[in-house]
Amino acid sequence: MTDIEVQSLLAAVPSNLPEEQLSTLLQTEYFRLVRIVSTGQATPEGEWYDQDENEWVLVLQGSAEIRFEDSDVTKSLSPGEYVQIPAHVRHRVDKTDPDRSTVWLALHYT
């Protein structure tokens, strides 16, 4: 008999973290589904993410600003909003909500 467990992305959300918290929810050879909790963190000044995998990322709670290097455009994300970031598109998180934990759901895939 299969026991199916209900879990919540919005439960046990820390409100004060020294660094972002990453929890892998699901992983196969081809993708990784991760919950990320940010409590005001941003990518360190002058640094960019340059990822080998594509990323689809959703904000569930809180808010964030992502900046893209080549266009120098900043995008704001509120709950329910997502972006799809192709591999090697350099980007950084300029800001996450200073007042409330930001909960992200990220799907990294090849």
Binding residue for its own copies, selected from 20, 21, 68, 100, defined by CB under 8 A: 68
Smallest distance, its own copies to C-beta of residue 36, A: 14
* Binding of its own copies by 83 (CB under 8 A): yes
Longest alpha-carbon distance in the chain: 53
Binding residue for its own copies, selected from 10, 12, 22, 87, defined by CB under 8 A: 10
Q: Which amino acid is at 86?
A: P
- Return the residues of window 13-32 that contact its own copies according to CB under 8 A: 25-26, 28-31
Nearer to its own copies, 18 or 26 (CB): 26
| Residue 49 buriedness (CB in 10 A; 0-12 / 13-18 / 19+) | middle
First-last CA distance in the chain? 33
